[in-house]
């Protein structure tokens, strides 16, 4: 019988913009990047990366040094294309390796594959960056979600699903399921006045939920329409969905270590298996 194990490592959990001050180090200052590897019978199936915030640079270093096993194909999936989720893309060294195959996925309904490619080319035009997209060197492909689904589920063991949720310009939640275990990534999400029941249904019984929690309840009232959740909303979602483990992410750039540590203590008192995202945090599921 084949055994599937998810290896998850967080390389960035900061929202909006990276921060580097000394009192922001415990939880980290890099923006969103999540690495997931599925091991089937102790063999790596495919490298999957969600978002290319500034944390992806350290992931690239770990790949180069062998801390993270290299893969023939890297699947780079985006929740959305706001700056803090793509600004590390030009610094991901495998993109410059001519022997590396990389597939970029952003399943926005009204965007054609060429439109997605043009958006990435835009941030790398000569006025903004010294190397243009077409000169990076890797075997870079912009692919649709059906191709990504085929790559992930070619042996029938993995189920890949997603849904668009409320965020300015739209953003996507993703779910990966294998071996009876599931991981859900749901960041840059605004529930509204009440918890979004569709989000709860999507997260149902997840073994690991990584959920947006940029604001306190008081801040949430001030930033209505900005596209984010509060700590309490993330906890309520996890409880309603019967989630086993909750990671609260997308920390506001103004929230320092002292503030977040106090918040984490409060969150644990409300949902025992919860913790705030920290750079380098790992899970085996």
SS3 256: coil
Determine contact, residues 244/206, Cβ cutoff 8 Å.
yes
pLDDT at 41: 61
pLDDT at 18: 98
pLDDT at 1: 45
d(CA 31, CA 171): 16
pLDDT at 153: 77
Tens-of-pLDDT digits for all 285 residues of the chain? Answer: 466 678 999 999 999 999 999 999 999 999 999 999 877 666 666 789 999 999 999 999 999 999 998 888 999 999 999 999 999 999 999 999 999 999 999 999 889 999 999 999 999 999 999 999 999 999 999 999 888 888 887 666 788 999 999 999 999 999 999 888 999 999 999 999 999 999 999 999 999 999 999 999 999 999 999 999 999 999 999 999 999 999 999 999 999 999 999 999 999 999 999 999 999 999 998
d(CA 190, CA 27): 22
pLDDT at 228: 98
d(CA 42, CA 234): 33
SS3 54: coil
The residues pairing with 103 across neighbouring beta strands, listed in sequence order, are 75, 141
d(CA 1, CA 24): 45
Domains parsed from the chain with CATH numbers: 4-284 (3.60.15.10)
Decide: pTM greater than 0.85: yes
Distance of CA 202 to the CA centre of its chain: 16
Ranges of H-type helices in 94-206 = 113-123, 145-152, 197-203
Q: What is the DSSP track for 61-106? A: HHHHHTSS---SEEEEE-S---HHHHTTGGG-GGGG-TT-EEEEE-
The residues pairing with 173 across neighbouring beta strands, listed in sequence order, are 163
């Amino acid at each position: 019988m084949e055994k599937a194990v998810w290896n998850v490592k967080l390389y960035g959990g900061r929202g909006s913009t990276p921060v580097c001050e000394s009192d922001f180090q415990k939880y980290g200052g890099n923006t969103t990047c999540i690495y997931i590897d599925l091991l089937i019978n102790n063999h790596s199936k495919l490298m999957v990366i969600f978002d290319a915030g500034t944390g992806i640079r350290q992931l690239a270093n770990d790949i180069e040094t062998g801390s993270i096993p290299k893969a023939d194909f890297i699947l780079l999936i985006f929740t959305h294309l706001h700056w803090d989720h793509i600004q590390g893309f030009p610094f991901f060294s495998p993109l410059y390796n001519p022997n590396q195959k990389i597939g970029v996925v952003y399943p926005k309904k009204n965007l054609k594959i060429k439109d997605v490619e043009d958006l990435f080319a835009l941030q790398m035009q000569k006025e903004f960056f010294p190397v243009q997209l077409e000169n990076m060197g890797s075997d870079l492909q912009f692919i649709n979600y059906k191709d990504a689904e085929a790559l992930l589920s070619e042996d029938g063991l993995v189920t890949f699903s997603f849904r668009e949720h409320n965020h300015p310009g739209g953003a996507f939640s993703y779910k990966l399921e294998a071996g009876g275990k599931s991981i859900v990534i749901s960041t840059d999400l605004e529930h509204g006045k009440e918890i979004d029941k569709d989000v709860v249904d999507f997260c149902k019984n997840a073994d690991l939920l990584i959920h947006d929690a940029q604001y306190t309840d008081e801040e949430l009232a001030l930033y209505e329409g900005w596209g984010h959740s509060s700590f309490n909303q993330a906890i309520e979602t996890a409880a309603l969905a019967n989630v086993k483990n909750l990671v609260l992410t997308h920390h506001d750039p103004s929230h320092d270590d002292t503030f977040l540590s106090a918040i984490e203590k409060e969150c644990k008192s409300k949902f025992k298996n919860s913790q705030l995202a920290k750079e380098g945090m790992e899970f085996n599921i």
